[in-house]
Amino acid sequence: MIIDGIKIAQHYKEELRKQVDLLSVQHKRKPRLDVIIVGENPASMAYVKSKIKAADYCGIDGELIRLPSSVSQKELLRVVQSCNADAEVDGILVQLPLPSHIDEQSVITAIAHEKDVDGFHPYNVANLWLNCASIVPCTPLGIMALLESTGIALAGRHAVVVGRSNIVGKPMAKLLLDQHCTVTLAHSRTANLAEVCRQADILIVAVGRAHTITASMVKPGATVIDVGINRTAQGTLVGDVDFKSVLPVAGAITPVPGGVGPMTIAMLMRNTIECYKNRLK
């Protein structure tokens, strides 16, 4: 089975749009998401444009704030703080990665935690690990929604997550643990990666390197979720999984593009609405 992320994300966005319609009438104000992008990285530009487009679709006011790659950390922090102070702004997203002269964690921590739609602020990270989260990082949340809507059983099964980033790997492991998976968090230094991956009933790959996972690394019937988006020399997009060779081995697999990506964006809309609702309280 090929898991259709576009279709599942579309279903979510339709539900969210209905919620936003009701909330906007009730509270006489649309939710607003401010997206800050630094520099001109083409992949980042493409992502933020998709985010603004999805916001428009859901009835969320999406504002794009573009800053030059030469912007100082001080100036970027000033922009974040002005979004924090603006009562009309419900969600703030600073697109990562940032240029190397800027300390990412300082910027993430400067975002008001109640407007942190990415769930990257230390307050939201702590709440996730303490089981009282309201805002959970969008990609792992989207993957859980994909698994749920395709009816894949999780309790007691072995999930292997490859990649230990703050954005995907670490929160992913926690969400799978919450659904009673036995979780292995593997990474670039894992010994015998192929052997570890072959034990997975659910294999989630977020390493950012094309063709990291080949057919011989996948247990027959396993669910394979590919978070990678890599551009080949020919300009086509491919995941971290060698889709063509893994497809006949896997029980279910996400394509790239059209798998995890659209779900990440749908969950960003969910988180923006969640921040809006939390701020009403």
Record the tokens describing residue 57, joined without a space.
């679709």
Shorter beta-carbon distance to ligand GUN: residue 59 or 119: 119
Shorter beta-carbon distance to ligand GUN: residue 93 or 202: 93
Record the tokens describing residue 250, joined without a space.
């896997």
Shorter beta-carbon distance to ligand GUN: residue 2 or 43: 43
Taking CB under 6 A as the rule, does residue 96 contact ligand GUN?
Answer: yes
118 tagged catalytic: yes
Q: Cite the DSSP H helix spans in the chain.
A: 5-27, 42-58, 73-85, 104-110, 122-129, 138-149, 169-178, 193-198, 243-246, 260-280
The rounded radius of gyration (Å) of the Cα atoms in the chain is: 19
Least Å from the CB of residue 56 to ligand GUN: 19
Please state, in angstroms and as integers, the Cα–Cα distance from residue 240 to each residue in 26, 47, 79, 243, following that order. Answer: 44, 18, 35, 9
Q: What is the DSSP letter of 97?
A: P
Of the candidates 51, 170, 174, 219, the residue annotated as catalytic is: 51
CA–CA separation, 154 and 151 (whole Å): 9
Least Å from the CB of residue 137 to ligand GUN: 7
Least Å from the CB of residue 206 to ligand GUN: 10
Q: Which listed range, 59-67, 87-95, 123-131, 146-154, lies at the site for ligand GUN (CB under 6 A)? A: 87-95
* Per-residue 3-state assignment (H helix, E strand, C coil) for 30-46: CCEEEEEEECCCHHHHH
Q: Which listed range, 6-14, 58-66, 92-100, 193-201, lies at the site for ligand GUN (CB under 6 A)? A: 92-100
Taking CB under 6 A as the rule, does residue 34 contact ligand GUN?
Answer: no
73 tagged catalytic: no
Q: Which of 12, 79, 139, 203 binds ligand GUN (CB under 6 A)?
A: 139
Least Å from the CB of residue 139 to ligand GUN: 6
Of the candidates 13, 61, 95, 115, the residue annotated as catalytic is: 95
Phi and psi, residue 66, nearest 5°: -105, 130
Q: Which listed range, 88-96, 140-148, 183-191, 207-215, lies at the site for ligand GUN (CB under 6 A)? A: 88-96
Any idea how long the chain is? 281
Q: What is the DSSP letter of 201?
A: S
Taking CB under 6 A as the rule, does residue 172 contact ligand GUN?
Answer: no
- What does the binding site for ligand GUN look like in residue numbers (CB under 6 A)? 93-96, 118, 138-139, 167
